[in-house]
Amino acid sequence: MPDSTHTFKQLENFVQKNYTNPDLDLLRRANQTAVAAHEGKTRLTGEPFINHPIAVAYRLAEMGLHLNVVVAGLLHDVVEDSEYEIEDVRIEFGDDIASLVDSVTKLKRNVNYRGVERYAENLRKMFLAMASDVRVVFMKFADRLHNLQTLYGQPKHKQERIARESLEIYAPIAGRLGMSEIKGELEDYAFAYLQPKEYERMKSIMDIKDSDDLDKIYDLIAVRIVVNNVEDCYAALGVLHQKWRPVPGRIKDYIAQPKPNGYQSLHTTMFTSEGEVVEFQIRTQEMHELSEYGVAAHWRYKEGSGQQERNMRWMEELAQIQKELASKKDFLEQLEYMKIDVFNDRIFVFTPQGDVIDLPEGATPIDFAYAIHSKVGDKCVAARINDVMRNLDTKLTSGDIIEIVTDKNRKAPNPDWLKFARTRHARKKIRDATRNTVKGWFVGVLHGREKGGK
Ligand code: MN
The answer to whether 80 is a known catalytic residue is yes
- Residues lining ion ligand 1 (Cβ < 5 A) are 77, 143
| 143 CA distance to ligand 1 middle (Å) | 5
Of residues 397 and 30, the one with the higher pLDDT is 30
pLDDT of residue 160: 87
Dist. CA 220–CA 232, nearest whole Å: 25
Percent of the chain with pLDDT over 70: 71
Whether the pLDDT of residue 133 is over 50: the answer is yes
Q: Looking at 81, 92, 324, 432, which residue is catalytic?
A: 81
pLDDT of residue 117: 52
Closest CA to 78 of 66, 90, 64: 90
Whether the pLDDT of residue 439 is over 50: the answer is no
Give the model confidence (pLDDT) of 19-67 as tens digits: 889 999 999 999 999 999 999 999 888 899 999 999 999 999 988 888 9
When the pLDDT of each residue in the chain is averaged and rounded to a whole number, the result is 77
Segment holding 428, helix H or strand E:
helix 424-453
Dist. CA 351–CA 191, nearest whole Å: 32
Report which residue type is found at 24. Answer: L
Helix 116-129 to helix 156-165 angle (10° resolution) is 50
Q: Looking at 62, 80, 85, 341, which residue is catalytic?
A: 80
The pLDDT of 196-207, averaged and rounded, is 71
Q: Which CATH architecture has domain 218-294?
A: 2-Layer Sandwich (3.30)
pLDDT of residue 97: 95
Q: Which CATH architecture has domain 8-201?
A: Orthogonal Bundle (1.10)
| 16 CA distance to ligand 1 middle (Å) | 24
| 140 CA distance to ligand 1 middle (Å) | 8
Report which residue type is found at 353. Answer: Q
HEC string of 134-181 equals: HHHHHHHHHHHHHHHHCHHHCCHHHHHHHHHHHHHHHHHHHHHCCCHH
Of residues 340 and 373, the one with the higher pLDDT is 373
Dist. CA 399–CA 439, nearest whole Å: 39
Angle formed at CA 284 by CA 283 and CA 285, multiple of 5 degrees: 125
Q: How many CB atoms lie within 10 A of CB 302?
A: 13
pLDDT band for position 437 (cuts 50, 70, 90): low
Q: Is 25 left (phi over 0), alpha (psi -120 to 50) or beta?
A: alpha
List CB contacts of 118: < 8 A, sequence separation 6 or more. Answer: 355
Distance from CA of residue 337 to its chain's centroid? 13
Residue 223, classed as helix, strand or coil, is strand
| 145 CA distance to ligand 1 middle (Å) | 10
Of residues 177 and 302, the one with the higher pLDDT is 177
User: What are the structural domain ranges in the chain?
Assistant: 8-201, 218-294, 344-443
pLDDT of residue 168: 73
| 77 CA distance to ligand 1 middle (Å) | 5
Sign for the CA dihedral angle at 402, 408, 409, 414 comes to positive
The answer to whether 81 is a known catalytic residue is yes
| 52 CA distance to ligand 1 middle (Å) | 7
| 75 CA distance to ligand 1 middle (Å) | 9
HEC string of 71-123 equals: HHHHHCCHHHHCCCCHHHHHHHHHHHHHHHHHHHHHHHHHCCCCCHHHHHHHH
Of residues 32 and 399, the one with the higher pLDDT is 32
Say yes or no: do domains 218-294 and 344-443 share a fold.
no
Closest CA to 347 of 425, 422, 426, 424: 422
pLDDT of residue 124: 57
Domain 344-443 in CATH 3.40.1260.10? The answer is no
Of residues 80 and 220, the one with the higher pLDDT is 80
User: How far is the first Cα of the chain from the last one, in angstroms, to the nearest whole number?
Assistant: 89
The pLDDT of 239-248, averaged and rounded, is 86
pLDDT of residue 301: 38
Mean pLDDT check: name the lowest of 163-172, 309-318, 364-373: 309-318
The pLDDT of 264-280, averaged and rounded, is 83
Dist. CA 451–CA 445, nearest whole Å: 10
| 139 CA distance to ligand 1 middle (Å) | 9
Give the model confidence (pLDDT) of 253-266 as tens digits: 999 888 766 788 99
